[in-house]
Structure 1
Amino acid sequence: MNRLKTPVYLMLCLLLILSLFISGCGQDEEVIQESELTVTIANAEKRDIARSMSYTGAVRGQNEVYIMPKVPARVTNVHVQPGDHVVNGQKLLTLDSSDFDAAIKQAEAGLASAKANKRQSEIALEAAKKNYERMQRLHEEGAISDQQLEMARDEHESLDSGSIDAAVAQAEAALMEANNQLENTIITSPINGVVGNISLSLGDTANPNEPAAIVTETSHLEVEVLVGENEISHIQKDSEVDVYIRAAREEPFTGTITSVASAADPMKQSYPVKVSLQNEDNLIKSGMFAQLRINTISADDVLCVPRNAVIPRGGQQVVFIVDEENRARQIEVETGVESSQWIEVLNGMEEGQKVITRGNTLVSDGSLVRGVTGGVR
């Protein structure tokens, strides 16, 4: 019996080892089974594309006036506040006029004196004229000498020199200047617009070297930006641009390029470009920060892929496409114009090919993928 048990035990051991081996092989097959990687895909397509550059600047009124006081005097009244709408000629500030009132009285007295002297001079001139004419007749009759005639002529000419008229004109100019100085004590707005700033308060002394107020015509605004030499030749006057003013709203405003400088700013070595924009809803305030997106280089009806489909790899620009077997295939491409969302493909691809736009940094050539359609980011 013992001899019969030994072969049976050996058979059972062999069967157990064989079943474990077969089970182990099945598990190995499950481990090495290939898995799919889910990626986002989009189609290569023909479209118009433009390269956009971003520039920043401050918004100001196309007609914005810094109002400088013309006389140094104390502020006696502030008539408006920032944000007020004003019209041409409206009072903004009033300055102390007492010193200028006295100057006007002094100038008026000087003018009166000059006019009195003129009247006296006119009387003397008329008498000298009559005397000269009489002496001429006497000289013709031989009753007086040449010297006596010359003396009468010199007297007449000295009174007719115009010096009295000049003195009157000078006195009139002095009075006019005094009146102008008095008028300068009332600071007014030279345009219709909105008060942007009042820099003086009651009791302050106006300084002719510093602006007293800023008035802006806010319905038409502009932004000036500086553009480098590599882009300036691609910027065209009258073309439209997107103007982002986040302090006013998230959506961009539409601006129009009104001027493109033909010479660089000598200090900044850049070219000033001005962009105008409408402010019909009065959302934009002068001084707000603006960001402009300006198209420079453009191309029409060219093959494009989403910008994030192109990745640098090994010093090259590559795109991963999805073939008929749902495998990722690496393709080297040459790119052209780039926008914020798209990039032009000059060669290496065909229209309609599926490109991986998300997950392309995780795949390699030949990876099995499952593509889902996604929007351009």
Structure 2
Amino acid sequence: MDRIKRSLSILLVLVLPLVFLGGCGKEKEVIKETQLSVSTVKAEKRDIAQAVKYPGTVRGVNEVYIMAKIPARVTGVYVKPGDRVSAGQTLMTLDSSDFQAGIRQAEAGVAAAEAGKRQHDIQLENARLNYDRTKKLFEAGAASQQQLEAAESAVRALETGSIEATLQQAQAGLLAAQSQLNNCTVTSPINGTVGSVALSLGETANPSSPVATVSDTSRLEIETLVGESEISYIKPGNSVDILVKAVSDEPFKGTVSSVAGVADPMKRNYSVKVVLDNPDNKIKSGMFAEVLISTESKADVLTVPLAAVLPRGGREIVYVVDSKNRARELDVKTGLRDNKYVEITSGLKAGERVITKGNTLVNNGTLVRVISGGAK
């Protein structure tokens, strides 16, 4: 029994060091530091212009809301949204049965007035002939003064113009009836693209609501409101960038067409209109847009990409990579910003490489590995 105990004691003495050695090896694996992959870019000097974003909605420079002029049932719809139309082209038709009856009634009125006019003309001609005969007889002493005056009065009674007025009134009624009939055909007043069609077959048009919209989208307009602190920087003719993210991530070039001289009394902002060409019709009327208007500008100042600067408890910082491949936090002060870069007024030197991708994952002293693909 003692021999067995001694053998077990010796075995434990031999095994325990091996266990401790294995445990130490595993502990070293757990604390091994991992490198974080980041991208960097050099801080460089460049010209920069402060760009402020203003929201707006795209519409055709020549955009028309087409209204029905009469309340009537829709009998035909001949276009759909997206169709190209020409000025004068029929978009839809409305029920004209009531107006057809009005046309017939007005035509009958004109015919009666014309018949009355012909009869009147005959009567007037006879009255004038009678006056001429009576005058000759009066001069020859064969007719009395009373007979002459009666003949003259008969002519004047027929020359009042009442019959002509009656005919003109009837003709005007016919023109009005024809106009009402013409209103049953809704046409496009311009060349352009149909933006919307509000009515379907069988529905009733309401003169207070548009039945369709047509816009010439080859040239677009965006109206936005600018604050009083920036309006002095904006002049008609200024070139601006326009972001329409539904179409492209790259900005389109536009031009300021007008700047309001008086602020909106409620919002205290100024209306600014920007126009841009749209030859390929990629941008649709009604799309949301952002107008980037440059205000203050500086030349040859130190800049870094916007993504390089991070907020930290009321401060702004960037991370640079030191000679030991560790991220180092630097406090910086910033100035102007555009849609890509921000000016660094202090805290950084030209040529220092700042982290632009992965900087939200590192801390001061984090071991990093710089990879290609950073911002230029």
What TM-score, normalized by structure 2, do the two folds share? 0.74
In structure 2, what is the equivalent of residue 16 of structure 1? none
1:82-134, Cα deviation, whole Å (9 max, x unpaired):
22222222221111111111100100000011111111111111222223334
Change in 2 beyond 3 A, CA 1:301/1:145: farther
Structure 2 Cα separation of the partners of residues 140 and 351 of structure 1: 122
* 1-structure distance, mates of 2:369, 2:351: 13
Aligned in 2, Cα 1:92/1:120: closer, same or farther, shift over 3 Å? Answer: same
Alignment of 1:41-190 (within 5 A): 45-140=44-139, 146-190=145-189
How far 1:362 moved relative to its partner? 5.6
The amino acid across from 1:110 in the alignment is G
- Residue 181 of structure 1, CA deviation: 1.1
Amino acid corresponding to residue 163 of structure 1 in structure 2 = S
SS of the residue 2:233 aligns to:
coil
1:228 aligns with 2:227: yes
The Cα offsets for residues 224-263 of structure 1, whole Å up to 9 and x where unpaired, read as 2121221122123233322222222333333222222222
1:272 is matched with 271
Aligned to 1:295: 294
| 1:299–1:112 CA distance, 2 compared to 1 (3 A) | same
Q: Report which stretch shifted further, 170-179 or 223-232.
A: 223-232
Q: Are the aligned partners of 1:321 and 1:330 in contact in 2 as well (CA < 8 Å)? A: yes
Instruction: Report the alpha carbon displacement of residue 143 of structure 1 after superposing the two structures with TM.
Output: 5.4
Aligned counterpart, 1:24: none
Q: Give the total of aligned pairs.
A: 337
Letter in 1 for 2:97: S
Give the corresponding residue for 1:337: 336
Secondary structure in 2 matching 1:263: coil
Instruction: Tell me the CA shift for residue 43 of structure 1.
Output: 5.3
Which stretch has the larger CA shift, 250-259 or 139-148?
139-148
Please name the residue that 1:352 is paired with: 350
CA distance in 1, matches of 2:366, 2:78: 76
* Distance across 2 between alignment mates of 1:177 and 1:94: 18
CA contact (8 A) 1:132 1:156 kept: yes
User: Conserved in 2, the CA contact under 8 Å of 1:341 and 1:376?
Assistant: no
Distance 2:211 2:38 in 1: 63
CA shift at 1:212, angstroms? 1.0
CA distance in 2, matches of 1:240, 1:305: 24
Task: Supply the distance in 1 between the matched residues of 2:178 and 2:44 (Cα, whole angstroms).
Answer: 75
How much does 1:49 deviate? 1.0
Compared CA separation, residues 191 and 41, structure 1 to 2 (3 A): closer
SS of the residue 1:167 aligns to: helix
Asked if structure 2 preserves the Cα contact closer than 8 Å seen for 1:328 and 1:369, the reply is no
Q: CA deviation at 1:178?
A: 0.9
Against the structure 1 CA distance between its residues 262 and 64, is the aligned structure 2 distance closer, same or farther, given a 3 Å change threshold? same
Residue identity matched to 1:179: Q
Where 1:295 maps in the other structure, the secondary structure is strand
Please state how far the C-alpha of 1:200 moved relative to its aligned partner.
1.0
**2:16 paired residue number:** none
Separation (CA, whole Å) in 2 of partners of 1:322 and 1:276: 45
Q: Distance in 1 between matches of 2:300 and 2:153?
A: 94
Cα distance in 1 for partners of 2:319, 2:200 equals: 67
Show CA shifts across 1:44-65 (max 9, x none). Answer: 5432111111122222111211
- Distance in 1 (alpha carbons) for counterparts of 2:182 and 2:189: 14
Q: Match for 1:131: what amino acid?
A: N
Q: Is the 8 A contact 1:257 1:276 kept in 2?
A: yes
Q: Say what the alpha-carbon RMSD is for the aligned residues.
A: 3.8
Q: Distance in 1 between matches of 2:327 and 2:243?
A: 42
1:35 matched residue in structure 2 = none
Distance 1:56 1:160, change over 3 A: same
| Shift, 1:204, TM fit | 0.8
5+ residue gaps, structure 2: 1-36
Residue 230 (structure 2) pairs with residue 238 (structure 1): no
- What is residue 195 of structure 2 aligned with on the other side? 196
Q: Match of 2:71, SS?
A: coil
Shift of 1:372: 6.8
Identity %: 51
Which deviates more from structure 2 when the two are superposed, residues 100-109 or residues 224-233?
A: 224-233
CA distance in 2, matches of 1:150, 1:230: 86
Distance 1:350 1:252, change over 3 A: closer
Indicate if the aligned counterparts of 2:332 and 2:348 stay in contact, CA closer than 8 A.
Answer: no
SS in 1 for 2:210: coil
Q: Which runs of 5+ in 1 are unaligned?
A: 1-37
1:115-174 per-residue CA deviation (whole Å, 9 max, x = no partner) reads 111111111112222233344444555655555444333322221111111111111111
Residue 229 of structure 2 aligns to a residue whose secondary structure is helix
Q: Contact (CA 8 Å) 1:322, 1:329: kept in 2 or not?
A: no
How far apart, CA to CA, are the structure 1 residues paired with 2:300 and 2:155?
A: 93
Post-superposition shift, 1:309?
6.6
Letter in 2 for 1:169: Q
Q: Is the contact between residue 327 and residue 363 of structure 2 (CA under 8 Å) also seen in structure 1?
A: no
Cα distance, 1:329 vs. partner?
10
Cα distance change of structure 1 residues 77 and 46 upon mapping to structure 2, 3 Å threshold: same
SS at the partner of 1:337? strand
- Give the aligned residue type for 2:170: A
